[in-house]
């Protein structure tokens, strides 16, 4: 059996008993019932994932996957594709938004070259190149099926490596000029929704370029005919190496029972692809923020996820995930450190129930 099939087979559902126990513990804490809102559901989810009422998320690692897209030839981004490589230098020099935000969030950052179109060697950069960028999806498949599987398996390996080094939570990030085009194409096929519904401005294209982006995706889907019931076919024909790699990270983390904190539109589409490969993965996902990209709402709805914050971000790199990480950490600290009604000798609600009112 190959690595992908083996990993898919290892993924199990979360522990519903630990979730119930966590819910009971939360309800015994010194606060009105339900008053910590989404922090409570987050703690319950983490208990199910970690199979414990003492879940851990630290140390947390942001995995940033980088790759290039042949479709950039069609003028679908406001920036040239060389920026992908240039940003890798910036990441390794600690100068990008994700470097700064991860530092504030107390998370480490791993940057993986899974398919930048030139060979690059930089200290600290993880070289896992599957190939030098994708083909232009408007002229044919972006990747072969074998390459899509290789990228998925690379992602699984990267997740396993980070977990072996101690990561208890994995946040996703990406860098790849043109990747909102690939993500929109994937989402429109997997979600069986109109392209207009999911295409946005990405790095900031104008109205005319956005119209072209829509036409490029339409043409790519028309000539490649990706099968909506075969997520690997979709990843190969209209996807990207970093998107497939991140889908692999989700599969690898879920197989090892590690929570995955999503970032924006692209990482959520990668997660949707993983969920279509194995639906159980969904239980391991946490949505961090609501991106400005219109497709992000669509993909979050398909994943059944509610983002924790909305700061009008449209960057990627893992920036929104890093910003939401302290909220996830707060949920864990609440359940570890708050006193119960009994410990603090605080009276229960007047209606006779042990705790306060909802």
Ligand X SMILES: Cc1cc2ncn([C@H]3O[C@H](COP(=O)(O)O)[C@@H](O)[C@H]3O)c2cc1C
Ligand Y SMILES: O=C(O)c1cccnc1
**CB–CB of 264/300 below 8 Å?**
no
Residues of 209-232 as b/e, b for ≥16 C-beta within 10 angstroms? Answer: bbeebbebbbebbeebebeeebbb
Could you say which of 134, 316, 321, 325 contacts ligand Y (CB under 6 A)? 316
* Identity of the residue, 42 or 175, whose beta carbon is nearer to ligand X in the bound complex: 175
Nearest-10 crossing angle of helices 231-238, 179-190 = 150
Residue 266 engages ligand Y in binding (rule: CB under 6 A): yes
For residue 83, the partner it binds in ligand Y, ligand X, none, with Cβ less than 5 to 8 A by kind, is: ligand X
Stretch that binds ligand Y, among 93-101, 124-132, 217-225, 288-296 (CB under 6 A): 288-296
Q: Number of residues interacting with ligand Y: please give it, by CB under 6 A.
A: 13
Minimum distance of ligand Y from residue 274's CB (angstroms): 16
Minimum distance of ligand X from residue 84's CB (angstroms): 6
Position closest to ligand X via CB: 202
For residue 239, the partner it binds in ligand Y, ligand X, none, with Cβ less than 5 to 8 A by kind, is: none
Q: Which residues bind ligand X (CB under 6 A)?
A: 77-79, 83, 87, 174-181, 202-203, 315-317
Residue 263 engages ligand Y in binding (rule: CB under 6 A): yes
* Residue 147 falls in the annotated catalytic set: no
Binding mask 212-231 for ligand Y (x = CB under 6 A): --------------------
* Identity of the residue, 27 or 203, whose beta carbon is nearer to ligand X in the bound complex: 203
Could you say which of 264, 269, 276, 277 contacts ligand Y (CB under 6 A)? 264
* Identity of the residue, 256 or 268, whose beta carbon is nearer to ligand Y in the bound complex: 268
Give me the catalytic one of 110, 153, 174, 317.
Answer: 317
Nearest-10 crossing angle of helices 265-277, 179-190 = 40
Residue 203 engages ligand Y in binding (rule: CB under 6 A): yes
Q: Which residues are catalytic?
A: 317
């Amino acid at each position: 059996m190959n690595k992908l099939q083996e990993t898919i087979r290892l993924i199990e559902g979360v522990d519903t008993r630990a979730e119930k126990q966590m819910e009971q513990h939360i309800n015994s804490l010194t606060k009105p019932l339900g008053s910590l809102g989404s922090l409570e559901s987050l703690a319950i989810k983490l208990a199910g994932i970690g199979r414990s009422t003492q879940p851990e998320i630290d140390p947390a690692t942001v995995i940033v996957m980088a790759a290039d897209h042949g479709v950039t030839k069609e003028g679908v981004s406001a920036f040239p594709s060389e920026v992908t490589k240039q940003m890798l230098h910036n990441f390794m020099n600690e100068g990008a938004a994700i470097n700064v935000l991860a530092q504030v969030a107390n998370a480490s950052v791993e940057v993986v070259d899974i398919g930048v179109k030139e060979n690059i060697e930089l200290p600290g950069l993880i070289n896992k190149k599957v190939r030098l960028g994708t083909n232009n999806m408007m002229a044919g498949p972006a990747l072969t099926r074998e390459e899509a599987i290789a990228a998925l398996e690379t992602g699984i390996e990267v997740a396993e490596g980070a977990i072996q080094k101690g990561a208890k939570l994995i946040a996703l990030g990406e860098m790849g000029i043109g990747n909102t085009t690939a993500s929109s194409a994937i989402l429109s096929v997997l979600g069986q929704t109109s392209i207009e519904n999911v295409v946005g401005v990405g790095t900031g294209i104008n109205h005319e370029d956005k119209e072209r982006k829509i036409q490029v995706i339409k043409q790519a889907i028309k000539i490649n005919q990706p099968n909506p019931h075969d997520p690997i076919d979709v990843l190969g024909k209209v996807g990207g190496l970093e998107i497939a790699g991140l889908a692999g990270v989700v599969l690898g983390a879920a197989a090892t029972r590690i929570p995955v904190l999503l970032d924006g539109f692209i990482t959520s589409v990668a997660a949707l692809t993983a969920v279509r490969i194995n639906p159980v993965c969904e239980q391991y996902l946490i949505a961090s923020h609501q991106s400005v990209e219109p497709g992000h709402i669509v993909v979050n709805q398909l994943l059944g996820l509610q983002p924790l914050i909305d700061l009008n971000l449209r960057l990627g790199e893992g920036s929104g995930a890093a910003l939401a990480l302290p909220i996830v950490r707060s949920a864990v600290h609440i359940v570890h450190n708050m006193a119960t009604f009994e410990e603090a000798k605080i009276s229960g609600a007047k209606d006779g129930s042990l705790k306060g009112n909802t």
